[in-house]
Amino acid sequence: METRKHIAAEKLQNGTHNCAQSIICTYADMAGINEETARNLGNAFGSGMGNMEGNCGALVGAGVVLGLATKDRAAARKGMRQIMTQFQQRNGATQCKMLKGVGTGVILRECTGCVADAAELLEEQFE
């Protein structure tokens, strides 16, 4: 599979999509949905599920795509566990607040990097 991680990161960087939408829209075809539905699915999951307290929106987007693409609860959960573990190892956190350095002043990963990482890890699940 040719990687789409740069496409996903560009959607976020351009300001046209939030982090979750960047992932879901980039892989909408694999999820079996259209662009508008993909965009709407991700509305509430930007900025760490709306307020930076929750999981990174890019990870949420990856989970949405994985669930829709596999149509299998066990496979989606197993794949998401792998994505979360690898993302945590790579970036030091999965929570938006921690990634952005809220309260610590130490930014672990910029948003475009989080989107690229989530996309890359998602693609590995389809290989």
Render pLDDT for 7-51 as a digit per residue (tens, 0 to 9). 999 999 999 999 999 999 999 999 999 999 999 999 999 887 777
Q: Among candidates 34, 64, 32, 28, which has minimal Cα distance to 49?
A: 64
Question: What mean pLDDT comes out for the span 113-117?
Answer: 97
Question: Residue 1: what pLDDT?
Answer: 58
Beta-bridge mates of residue 95: 55
Cα–Cα dist 5/48, whole Å: 19
Cα–Cα dist 12/108, whole Å: 18
DSSP-derived letter for residue 127 is -
pLDDT of residue 2 exceeding 90: no
Where do runs of H (alpha helix) occur along 14-110?
19-26, 28-31, 35-41, 46-49, 57-70, 73-91, 96-99
- How would residue 54 be classed by pLDDT, with cut points 50, 70 and 90? confident
* DSSP for 95-118, written as a single string: BHHHHTTTTT------HHHHHHHH
